[in-house]
A = this chain, B = another copy of it.
Amino acid sequence: MNGAIKKADILIETLPYIRNFYGKTVVIKYGGSAMLNCELKEKVIKDLLLMRYVGINVVLVHGGGPEISSILKKVGKHSKFINGLRVTDKETMEIAEMVLAGKINKEIVALINKNGGKAVGITGKDGNLAKAKKMVLTNDMSEPTDLGFVGEICEVNPQLLKTLFDDGCIPVIASIAMGEDGETYNINADHMAQELAIALKAEKLVFLTDVEGILEDYNNPDSLLSVLTVKDALEKIKNGGISGGMIPKVEACIKSIKQGVRRTHIIDGRIPHSLLLEIFTDKGIGTMVIE
């Protein structure tokens, strides 16, 4: 009995957080270990469900690079990468779409619904949620590089998501969109999450990553920054304190903040229940990027 009472006390500790987030929107970019490790995956899904039950409108955005690569390999295709972006020809795009929209997306939907939720898995194409345009990449000599069907979002129509929220659903978004030219484009999932968060005027945009957050000193794992201002973030990018794959995430945070998202977070998806820890504790986890 005492154990049960202590557990109830723990539930009660969440009251002030529930109060704050009631009716708010949280966009989560799902990726990394939290998506690969079965046990972590189950925990993320349950965290989502709890968030939904206590009145938070949750959107999950996912990519799926590793699985795309693995299927491409099966059918004997090899991708070239430029600046970390996969050069995407028509056949690659078709396979990517199958994997993202037909495999990963549906696995997540199944996992949520198996646990009692009501997920609906869609892409940016569905309901004209997001429109893309071809990404133009120029090299050092200002020459454009053709990445094929790699796009960026130029317009979001969030009505379908709101309809799904009102129906009690959790939208799960595969990061694909259609261009004005009618072609299908592969979209970086961090970028998709950012654009949806902006269009939904989200309370929070959370990136589930495989790092602890942003470090004060790149070489000292104990120097995690809990809070980082936009100004300091820009400085760190400039001086190399933030580098590699972390740059697009931090830039997505900065752009989101500037366009009205209240808070943005880079958190460690390797920690079980990292989402709940972020939402339901004062300290939160990882790094919060703010104005």
A11–B11 Cα distance when bound, in Å, is: 6
Instruction: Choose one: B43, B94, B178; the contact of A114 (CB below 8 Å).
Output: B178
Query: Which residue numbers of A lie inside 8 Å of B, CB to CB?
Result: 1, 4-5, 7-16, 18-19, 22, 43, 46-47, 49-50, 53-55, 74-75, 94, 97-103, 105-106, 109-110, 113-116, 118-123, 125-128, 159-160, 163-164, 167, 169, 176, 178, 182, 184, 271-273, 276-277, 280-281, 285
A182 — which chain B residues lie within 8 A by C-beta?
Answer: 110, 114
Report 5 cross-chain contacts, Cβ distance below 8 Å, ordered by A residue. Answer: A5-B271, A16-B116, A101-B106, A109-B125, A113-B128
A11–B213 Cα distance when bound, in Å, is: 24
A110–B220 Cα distance when bound, in Å, is: 48
Instruction: Choose one: B5, B55, B167; the contact of A277 (CB below 8 Å).
Output: B5
The majority secondary structure among interface residues of chain A is helix
A114 — which chain B residues lie within 8 A by C-beta?
Answer: 178, 182
Taking the closest CB of chain B, its distance from the CB of A170, in whole angstroms, is 10
Instruction: Choose one: B13, B105, B271; the contact of A1 (CB below 8 Å).
Output: B271
A103 lies within 8 A of B109 (CB): no
Give how many copies assemble into the complex: 6
Instruction: Choose one: B7, B8, B75; the contact of A47 (CB below 8 Å).
Output: B8
A101–B22 Cα distance when bound, in Å, is: 31
Instruction: Choose one: B9, B53, B100, B106; the contact of A273 (CB below 8 Å).
Output: B9
- Known A102-B98, A184-B110; judge A15-B49 contact (CB<8 A): yes
A126–B106 Cα distance when bound, in Å, is: 8
Instruction: Choose one: B16, B47, B94, B106; the contact of A123 (CB below 8 Å).
Output: B106
Q: A98-B102, A101-B102 are in contact. List 12 more A-B contacts (CB 8 A).
A: A1-B285, A5-B271, A8-B276, A12-B46, A15-B115, A53-B55, A74-B75, A94-B103, A101-B105, A102-B105, A119-B127, A122-B126
A18 lies within 8 A of B99 (CB): no
A121–B121 Cα distance when bound, in Å, is: 9
